[in-house]
């Protein structure tokens, strides 16, 4: 077993048979190239919430707002899927991500301020148990 950020690459090349925590986008990208890879989901898994930020002092903040609005629109989401194989995973999003999760009997719990703190505390306890620090 190899645990690395490039785990998907070693699976895609056949160097390793399995990787963990690789993300569905990497699998869909590999499948689009014709590689025989797949993924599984556990019954419940966490998913982060992402935000789009416009840095203070941006030359064209209105253009940035329009770009963000476009990426959140149906045509924008379709473009992101076409080029990056990334999609909304929320239940009922009717995207390849949400459909794949549902078809495999899984569900996501999306991060909130409250459950993020709980997850961080649990991760800290696990780290201390595993690493001893």
Of residues 66 and 36, the one with the higher pLDDT is: 66
* Domain spans, the chain: 40-131
pTM of the model: 0.60
pLDDT of residue 69: 92
pLDDT of residue 64: 93
**How would DSSP label each residue in 34-58?**
T--------SEEEE--------TT-
pLDDT of residue 83: 85
Instruction: Check residue 105 and give left, alpha or beta (phi > 0: left; psi -120 to 50: alpha).
Output: left
- For the record, the structure tokens of 46 come out as 């966490």
Of residues 46 and 116, the one with the higher pLDDT is: 116
What digits encode the pLDDT tens for the residues 2-48?
344 455 566 667 666 666 656 778 888 888 888 888 877 777 666 66
Nearest to 29 by CA among 90, 101, 82: 82
> CA of 35: how far to CAs of 9, 26, 57, in Å?
11, 11, 44
CA 73 to chain centre: 19
Instruction: Provide the 3-class DSSP secondary structure of residue 62.
Output: helix
| Strand (E) or helix (H) holding 96 | helix 96-103
């Amino acid at each position: 077993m190899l645990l690395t950020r490039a785990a998907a690459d070693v699976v895609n090349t056949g160097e390793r048979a399995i990787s963990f925590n690789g993300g569905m986008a990497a699998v869909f990208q590999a499948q689009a190239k014709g590689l025989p890879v797949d993924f599984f989901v556990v019954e419940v898994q966490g998913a982060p919430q992402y935000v789009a930020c416009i840095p203070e002092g941006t030359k064209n903040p209105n253009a940035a707002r329009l770009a963000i609005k476009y990426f959140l629109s149906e045509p924008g989401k379709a473009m992101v899927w076409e080029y990056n194989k990334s999609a909304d995973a929320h239940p009922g999003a009717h995207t390849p991500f949400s459909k794949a999760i549902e078809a495999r009997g899984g569900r996501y719990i999306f991060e909130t301020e409250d459950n993020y703190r709980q997850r961080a505390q649990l991760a800290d306890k696990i780290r201390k148990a595993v690493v001893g620090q």
